[in-house]
Amino acid sequence: MQQVSPMATRYDGPTIWFHWAVACLVLVQWLLAQVIDWFPLGMPRIEARSVHISLGLFLGVLLLARGVWRATRGRVLLPADRGALQILAKAVHYTLYVLLIAMVAVGLFLVWVRGDSFFGLFTVPAFDPGNKALRHNIEELHGTIATIILILAGLHAAASLIHHYLWHDNVLRRMLPSSN
C-alpha cells in the first residue's frame, strides 16, 4: 500500500478508475433491474436477466480487484475532514463496500434460488424449485440492498458536491480522472 503524503491532492489512476467503474456499473445494474420485467417472457427476458447476471459477476470481479489494489498498491482513504465527519465518511465508505459485496453474493444466491438460464446456453439448477417464498424473500433482500446502496451513494455524491461547491476544497477533484 502506498504511503499517503499529508500533502497528497489526488488518488492514483487505478483507484480513480475502479471508483468510477463501480459507480457506473451500479447505476447501470439498477437501471437494468428496473426494466427486466418489461421484456417479453422467453428469450428476451432471459437475455436481459443474463446481461444483468453477467454485469453482476463483473461487478464482483471489479470489487475483488479494487480490494487487492487498495490492499497492495492503492492509496488509503484520503481524509476529507477531521473528527466526526471523518469517522462518518469512513463508515459510509466501508458500509458501501460491505453492501456491494453483499449485493453480489445475494445476487448469486438469487440466480441459484431461481434456477436462471444463462443466455439459453445452460441453466443453473434451482436450489428449491417449489419454494416461492424463498425466491420472493431473496429478491426483496436484493432489492433492499440496492436501495440502501443508492441512498448511501447519493449521500456520498452529495457530500462531495458540498465539499466542491460550498467548501471549495479539492475533495471532489482528487477523485476525478486526470486531464493530462
Give tens-digit pLDDT for 35-92: 999 999 999 999 999 999 999 999 999 999 999 998 888 766 666 667 888 889 889 9
Residue 49, domain member (yes or no): yes
Residue 8, domain member (yes or no): no
Residue 153, domain member (yes or no): yes
pLDDT at 29: 97
Which helix (H) or strand (E) segment holds residue 122: the answer is strand 122-123
Looking at the structure of the chain, the number of domains it has is 1
Residue 1, domain member (yes or no): no
Q: Once rounded to an integer, what is the mean pLDDT over residues 153-158?
A: 95
Number of Cα atoms under 13 Å in the Cβ half of residue 148: 16
Residue 124, domain member (yes or no): yes
Q: Share the mean pLDDT of the chain.
A: 90
Q: Domain range spanning residue 85?
A: 13-175
Residue 5, domain member (yes or no): no
Residue 6, domain member (yes or no): no
Q: Does the pLDDT value for residue 144 go beyond 70?
A: yes
Residue 83, domain member (yes or no): yes
pLDDT at 2: 47
Q: Once rounded to an integer, what is the mean pLDDT over residues 161-177?
A: 88
CA distance 53 to 59: 10
Q: What is the pTM of this model?
A: 0.89
Determine the distance from the C-alpha atom of residue 104 to the mean position of all C-alpha atoms in its chain, rounded to a whole number: 9
15-26 pLDDT tens trace: 999 999 999 999
pLDDT at 80: 67
